[in-house]
């Protein structure tokens, strides 16, 4: 998953967000990227997701936010059991 | 103004522009917010400047300034031409604006009462009265009301001979009530959420929508939602109210029909569109009862104006006819490009280019993109629904970069059982794929239920621009919709 798109709060108190993937989503099998996927929708409590981070990358990347004039330094992360709730099939 | 306009057009052409236009824009906004009985915001902003847009060596250039003097006009006009010539180094093709547009006219929003002539005390008292009604209900934590007014005067002149003066007046209002319990927060808004409902109208709009008269009802709904069960997860029939349907139309029809977006100019930011040109005239967007139009002429619509920011008259265009996709929102350049590959498409722009003030270039923006009324009354529609959900007032939204996969949440929802409204439920959501969702639309309510809802916060473009758009809707029913996602 390389980029989320149009992420907005569904339930602020429970920190549930929904959003789409864009600009490249790929299937990983046995340690290799095997094929591209259609865009996926997630609906997920972000605090719950952070509590299930298994690994963080070593390299930080500076990423400009889509909305607003600020940027974030962040590494790649593996999150166990991230909750995808929909798919665009065409 | 004519002296300034002529100076810009003459300077630009003497420097090498083959086309030039100037917009001189003054925008005044007044906002009043009352929160829990206290005036929180009282602002009056005035913003003034001009922008010069040119074509030189086949490419666009634009420059602007907040100082309207003849010397500054010379400097800015020359700078716009310099930028155009620099842009020409990278052009893929020459800009072709198609047939010329020459209009000399004056347009003014018809209003009964100019809102800038009404006293601050009278405006404040409307909000205090609504606030008092809302907070009379036990369990209300926050009541926040707002009134907003805008007056924009624009002069547009072009090297083709147009000279257009417009005054657009807007009035908006909103009230949001929040109730809080352990681990839960619920809100209700009226007439619409996310700040306010707005229209091109005078102060009479405030009385028509009657905030104080609706405050107690929405306060009681917000409190009742705290103890309501959560939205069930299932596939069912869904009836949407007008305000929620307005945002559904905005996101799933309005954005994908912007022809600049279709051609890729928004791709790096908000995305592209699934409504690509080969689908024009043949693609089934929705069921036979789905008819959508774009127009800039509906009275009180927030997207209503005389002329767009290319000086093209505001007009009415079919977008979806009996379920088939038949039209785009266009500019002069994109309409010309489309007509070359699709000769059945109109040769001229339908007038949807607008800029957010004087220091931004015009881009294609929705005017009033509307779902046309059908045959049903809301009571009959609910009575005709065996099992389903009725969802009201937007709370959250998300849609993908081609405008296909969407998910919305609403402030309020009711179950429908055997043709009757049942339990109130909270945290309602629904999700779908645009053409499948509209393909499942089997009933739209009649003209008595139809209103043009105002969306005063539409974002697009880099650097960012905010547009004011309108959406006429009446409640409608959709079959086989997935509700209660990931609660």
Q: Same structural domain for residues B67 and B163?
A: yes
Please state the domain count of chain B. Answer: 2
- Which one of B226, B259, B276 terminates a domain? B226
Q: Is residue A48 part of a domain?
A: yes
Q: Same structural domain for residues B238 and B213?
A: no
CA distance B233 to chain A (A): 12
Q: Same structural domain for residues B300 and B443?
A: yes
Of B185, B400, B429, the CB nearest to A10: B429
Distance CA B73, CA B155 (A): 15
Q: Same structural domain for residues B274 and B349?
A: yes
Q: Same structural domain for residues B196 and B265?
A: no
Chain B residues with CB inside 8 Å of A14's CB?
Answer: 183
* pLDDT band at residue B468 using 50, 70 and 90 as cut-offs: very high
Averaged pLDDT, B222-240: 98
Q: Same structural domain for residues B241 and B267?
A: yes
Ramachandran quadrant class, B470 (left: phi over 0; alpha: psi -120 to 50; beta: rest): beta
Q: Is residue A24 part of a domain?
A: yes
pLDDT at residue number A70: 87
Distance CA B212, CA B357 (A): 33
Q: Please answer yes or no on whether B402 and A10 come within 8 Å at the CB atom.
A: no
CA distance B183 to chain A (A): 7
Nearest CA in chain B to A65: B269
Percent of chain B scored above 90 by pLDDT?
98
Q: Same structural domain for residues B278 and B395?
A: yes
Averaged pLDDT, B389-393: 98
* pLDDT band at residue A88 using 50, 70 and 90 as cut-offs: confident
Contact B183, B44 (CB under 8 A): no
User: Does position B486 have pLDDT exceeding 80, yes or no?
Assistant: no
Q: Same structural domain for residues B354 and B286?
A: yes
Q: Is residue A66 part of a domain?
A: no
pLDDT at residue number B487: 54
Contact B79, B87 (CB under 8 A): no
Provide residues of B within 8 Å CB-CB of chain A.
Answer: 183-185, 269-271, 396-402, 404-405, 407, 409, 427, 429, 431, 433, 459, 464, 485-487
Instruction: Characterize the bridge pairing of strands B163-181 and B104-108.
Output: parallel
Distance CA B484, CA B428 (A): 6
Chain B residues with CB inside 8 Å of A83's CB?
Answer: 486
Q: Is residue A69 part of a domain?
A: no
Q: Identify the domain containing residue B366 by its residue range.
A: 234-483
* pLDDT band at residue B360 using 50, 70 and 90 as cut-offs: very high
pLDDT, one tens digit per residue, over A68-83 is 778 999 999 999 999 9
Averaged pLDDT, B195-213: 96
Q: Where do we find the tokens 């602002």?
A: B43
Q: Identify the domain containing residue A18 by its residue range.
A: 4-53+80-87
Of A9, A14, A20, the CB nearest to B400: A20
DSSP string, B440-475: TEEEEB-GGG-EEEEEEEEEETTTTEEEEEEEEE--
Give the residue among B119, B123, B324 at the shortest CA–CA distance from B206: B123
Averaged pLDDT, B245-257: 98
Q: Same structural domain for residues B162 and B270?
A: no
pLDDT at residue number B377: 98
Q: Please answer yes or no on whether A22 and B401 come within 8 Å at the CB atom.
A: yes
- Which one of B226, B254, B287 terminates a domain? B226
Contact B190, B215 (CB under 8 A): yes
Q: Same structural domain for residues B314 and B205?
A: no
pLDDT at residue number B228: 98
In angstroms and rounded to an integer, the radius of gyration of the C-alpha atoms of chain A is: 14
Contact B384, B205 (CB under 8 A): no
Which value does ipTM take for this structure? 0.92
Q: Same structural domain for residues B350 and B216?
A: no
* pLDDT band at residue B257 using 50, 70 and 90 as cut-offs: very high
Average pLDDT, chain B: 97
Average pLDDT, chain A: 92
Q: Same structural domain for residues B38 and B169?
A: yes
User: Does position B476 have pLDDT exceeding 90, yes or no?
Assistant: yes
Minimum mean pLDDT range among B46-55, B443-452, B459-468: B459-468
* pLDDT band at residue B219 using 50, 70 and 90 as cut-offs: very high
Beta strands in B66-210 (DSSP E): 104-108, 140-158, 163-181, 184-190, 197-199
pLDDT at residue number B334: 98
The alpha carbon of B158 is separated from its chain's Cα centroid by a whole number of angstroms, namely: 27
Encoding tokens for residue B259? 């022809």
In terms of DSSP H, where are the helices of B162-236? 204-209, 211-226
> Whole-model pTM above 0.90?
yes
Whole-angstrom CA distances from B367 to B12, B148, B295 are: 30, 20, 6
DSSP string, B381-438: HHHT-SEEEEEEEEEEEEE-TTS-EEEEEEEEEEEEETTEEEEEEBSEEEEEEHHHHH
Encoding tokens for residue B358? 């004087």
Q: How many residue pairs bridge chain A and chain B with CB atoms within 8 Å of each other?
A: 77
- Which one of B173, B191, B226 terminates a domain? B226
Please state the domain count of chain A. Answer: 1
Averaged pLDDT, B132-142: 98
């Amino acid at each position: 998953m390389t980029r989320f798109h149009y992420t907005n709060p569904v339930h602020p108190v429970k920190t549930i967000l929904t959003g789409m993937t864009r600009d490249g989503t790929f299937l990983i099998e046995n340690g290799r990227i095997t094929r591209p996927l259609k865009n996926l929708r997630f609906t997920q409590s972000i605090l719950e997701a952070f509590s299930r981070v298994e690994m963080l990358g070593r390299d930080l990347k500076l990423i400009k936010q889509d909305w607003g004039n600020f940027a974030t330094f962040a590494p790649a992360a593996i999150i166990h059991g991230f909750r995808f709730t929909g798919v665009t099939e065409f | 103004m004519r002296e300034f306009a002529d100076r810009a057009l003459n300077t630009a052409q003497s420097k090498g522009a083959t086309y030039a236009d100037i917009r001189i824009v003054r925008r005044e906004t007044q906002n009043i917010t009352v929160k829990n009985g206290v005036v929180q915001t009282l602002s009056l902003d005035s913003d003034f400047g001009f922008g010069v847009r040119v074509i030189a060596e086949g490419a666009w250039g634009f420059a602007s300034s907040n100082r309207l003097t003849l010397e500054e006009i010379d400097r800015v006009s020359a700078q716009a031409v310099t930028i155009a010539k620099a842009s020409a180094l990278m052009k893929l093709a020459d800009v072709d604006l198609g047939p010329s547009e020459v209009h000399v006219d004056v347009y003014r929003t018809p209003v009964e009462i100019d809102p800038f002539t009404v006293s601050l005390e009278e405006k404040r008292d409307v909000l205090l009265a609504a606030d008092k009604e809302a907070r009379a209900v036990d369990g209300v934590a926050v009541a926040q009301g707002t009134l907003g007014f805008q007056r924009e005067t624009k002069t547009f002149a072009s090297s083709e001979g147009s000279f257009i003066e417009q005054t657009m007046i807007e009035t908006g209002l909103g009230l949001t009530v929040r109730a809080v319990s352990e681990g839960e927060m619920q809100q209700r808004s009226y007439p619409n959420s996310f700040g306010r409902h707005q229209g091109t109208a005078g102060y009479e709009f405030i009385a028509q929508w009657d905030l104080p008269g609706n405050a107690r009802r929405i306060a009681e709904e917000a409190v009742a939602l705290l103890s309501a069960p959560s939205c069930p997860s299932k596939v069912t029939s869904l009836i949407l109210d007008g305000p929620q349907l307005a945002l559904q139309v905005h996101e799933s029809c309005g954005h994908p029909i912007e022809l600049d977006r279709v051609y890729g100019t928004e791709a790096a930011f908000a995305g592209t569109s699934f409504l690509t040109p080969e689908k024009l005239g043949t693609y089934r967007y929705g069921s036979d009862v789905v008819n959508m139009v774009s127009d800039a002429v509906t009275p009180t619509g927030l997207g209503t104006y005389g002329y767009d920011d290319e000086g093209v008259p505001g007009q009415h265009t079919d977008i979806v006819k009996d379920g088939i996709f038949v039209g785009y929102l266009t500019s002069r350049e994109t309409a010309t490009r489309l007509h070359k590959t699709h000769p059945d498409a109109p040769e001229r722009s339908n007038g949807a280019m607008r800029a957010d003030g004087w220091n931004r270039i015009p881009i294609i923006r929705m005017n009033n993109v509307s779902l046309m009324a059908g045959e049903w009354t809301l009571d009959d529609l609910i009575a005709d629904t065996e099992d389903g959900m009725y969802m009201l007032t937007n709370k959250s939204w998300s849609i993908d970069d081609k405008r296909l996969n969407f998910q919305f949440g609403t402030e309020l929802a009711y179950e429908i059982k055997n043709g009757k409204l049942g339990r109130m439920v909270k945290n309602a959501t629904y999700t779908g794929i645009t053409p499948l969702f509209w393909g499942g639309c089997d009933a739209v309510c009649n003209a008595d239920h139809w209103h043009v809802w105002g969306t005063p916060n539409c974002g697009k473009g880099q650097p960012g621009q905010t547009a004011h758009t309108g959406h006429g809707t009446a409640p409608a029913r959709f079959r086989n919709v997935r509700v209660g996602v990931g609660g």
